[in-house]
Amino acid sequence: MKIKVDMQKCQHYGQCVFEAPDIFKLNDQDKLEYTAEADESQRANVEAAADVCPMQAIFIES
């Protein structure tokens, strides 16, 4: 599965980090970093992260 974050929308709140910590993290400058491709076993976590994103900046492609 491919993951995309619209960095123009992302405000680095970090809610996604709580839902999918293996995929999303905040770096030392509190900016979001993420893995662009993930195994299907992570789908539920990534979908949960997309759902809780206040800016709706996370997109999943099969």
Domains of the chain: 2-61 (3.30.70.20)
pTM for the model stands at 0.93
Q: In the structure encoding, which two tokens stand for residue 33, read together? A: 């970093």
Q: What is the pLDDT of residue 31?
A: 97
**H-helix or E-strand spanning residue 4:** strand 2-5
Q: What is the pLDDT of residue 62?
A: 81
DSSP sequence for 24-58: EEE-TTS-EEE-SB--GGGHHHHHHHHHH-TT--E
Q: In the structure encoding, which two tokens stand for residue 45, read together? A: 């976590």
CB 4 within 8 A of CB 62: no
Residues of the chain with pLDDT under 50: none
CB 9 within 8 A of CB 57: yes
